[in-house]
Amino acid sequence: MILKCNNEKVVNLVKCFETLDFADKLRLSIDMLESYHIKVKNNKVLEILKKLLCAVDESYDKTKFLNLLNYKHLLMTSAQAMELTEKEQNVFVFEVLYNIYKTFKY
């Protein structure tokens, strides 16, 4: 975790996110950035995440469609992220993107 000012909800979500494999991290990040309920929007980051997921997941590469219902273990984390305040969502998305960068870097 990079930020020290996180509250308990954000810390718990980040810990849950850190346990996911790389493809699931990408799926959840894409879902959050495309979601109407998450106020953070960044199309360039979204494009990069989709290209990474295409490289990692062959089924996504064929369809270019992400149905989170096929990944039920990600639904709870996505729902919890939607319950956060806008400030908490910003912090969580920052932590998520940093975690993906850190994973991809190594």
Secondary structure (H, E, C), the chain: CCCCCCCHHHHHHHHHHHCCCHHHHHHHHHHHHHCCCCCCCCHHHHHHHHHHHHHHCHHHHHHCCCCHHHCHHHHHHHHHHHCCCHHHHHHHHHHHHHHHHHHHHC
| Predicted local distance difference test score (pLDDT) of residue 39 | 74
pLDDT at 24: 93
Please check the confidence at residue 22 and state whether its pLDDT lies above 70: yes
The reported pTM is 0.85
Question: Given a cut of 80, is residue 89 above it in pLDDT?
Answer: yes
3 pLDDT band, cuts 50/70/90, is low
The mean pLDDT of 19-30, rounded to a whole number, is 92
* Residue ranges covered by each domain of the chain: 8-105
pLDDT for position 70: 84
| Residue predicted with more confidence, 100 or 106 | 100
